[in-house]
Each structure stands twice: as structure tokens, then as C-alpha cells.
Amino acid sequence: MTSTLNISHLVSIDRAGNASIAETGSVAGPPANGGTIYEIRNCPANVSAGDVAALSRGLVLPSGVHAVDYDRLAARQSGSCCGGCCG
């Protein structure tokens, strides 16, 4: 397991699946523009916010879920069906 410092990043994903770091002051959940803001929790200290956003591209979690641990997100990108994001 990767060493973490309980660092979280908020990532904004638009309707097309494009991901970027959410604006300062944002909160996890559905913003007015139709996208979603997700909290990526327990990120390793050596992973930048930009790298977290890149891993989040196309992320879709179940309705009402707006947070996922970094390890699950990384598993999704390394070939796991969804990294456990779907339930």
C-alpha cells in the first residue's frame, strides 16, 4: 500500500469526462454546470494534484457518491474494471 498523508484533492469532471482541479472553495457534489466534483481522498504525498486530475479523467461514480480513495482510482487506471468505484 502506498504511503499517504490523508491528502485530498477536489477534481472537477465536465459532461465530456474531462478532468481538472476544482476551483478553490468548491465542494464535492454536482455543480451547476452539469459536471461533478469528486473528492479524491488519501492521496500519496508525492502525487501532484495535476496527476490526480489526469487519473480522474472519465471517472463516473454511482449516483450520490462524490468521493473515492486514491488507491481505487489508481486501480481503475491499471486495468481493474473500475477499481471498486462501482460498489
Q: What pLDDT score was predicted for residue 51?
A: 95
Q: Between 61 and 9, name the one with better pLDDT.
A: 9
Closest CA to 74 of 54, 57, 55, 61: 55
Q: What pLDDT score was predicted for residue 33?
A: 75
Domain boundaries, the chain: 7-77
Q: If you count them, how many residues does the chain have?
A: 87
Instruction: Return the SS3 of 10.
Output: strand
- pTM equals 0.82
